[in-house]
Amino acid sequence: MPEQGSWLRVRAAGMDLLLPTLDLREVVPLPVVSPIPGCSRGLQGVTIYQGEFLPVVRWEDLPGVRPSSGPPTILAVMRLRFGLPLEGVTGIIEVPADAWEPLADDDPAIAWAGAMCRLGLTSLHRVDPDRLLALLRRMKVER
């Protein structure tokens, strides 16, 4: 299970999610994302970040994600060198260790989410950058 610590609470693809702050480089205004012809599923395209190409995830291609109700306005740049388009940031929260629980085996988000966080009546998927990157690689091979 994820350990106790700080998490960035965000809104993406109509979902409330948690991003691990240790895996986050920064959050920037959404830059222009250029589509790439023949790009694999899961990627919206690329943008330029600090002089280098940065792949940007397309949430709608991921299992368990529905089309968003609002457009993204910011980009979370992850340490593993990919960007996550976000609709907004709610804040940084501290999550106690006992708030985490494993995902159900039939939860489609298990391919990109590492666990579920229960805070009162709210349930939040924890984005696992390693799982997400592995999923994107599998989607590229399946193309």
Question: DSSP for 42-53?
Answer: TEEEEEEETTEE
Tell me how crowded residue 95 is: count the other CB atoms within 10 A of its CB: 20
pLDDT in tens, 71-85: 999 999 999 999 999
Confidence label for 143 from pLDDT (cuts 50, 70 and 90) = low
Enclosing H/E stretch for 14: none
Q: Given pLDDT bands bounded at 50, 70 and 90, which one contains residue 13?
A: very high
Distance from C-alpha of 120 to C-alpha of 103, rounded to nearest angstrom: 17
pLDDT over threshold 90, residue 66 = no
108-139 pLDDT, tens digit per residue, is 999 999 999 999 999 999 999 999 999 999 98
Asked if residue 92 has pLDDT above 60, the reply is: yes
Residue 105 three-state SS: coil
CATH class of domain segment(s) 5-142 = mainly beta
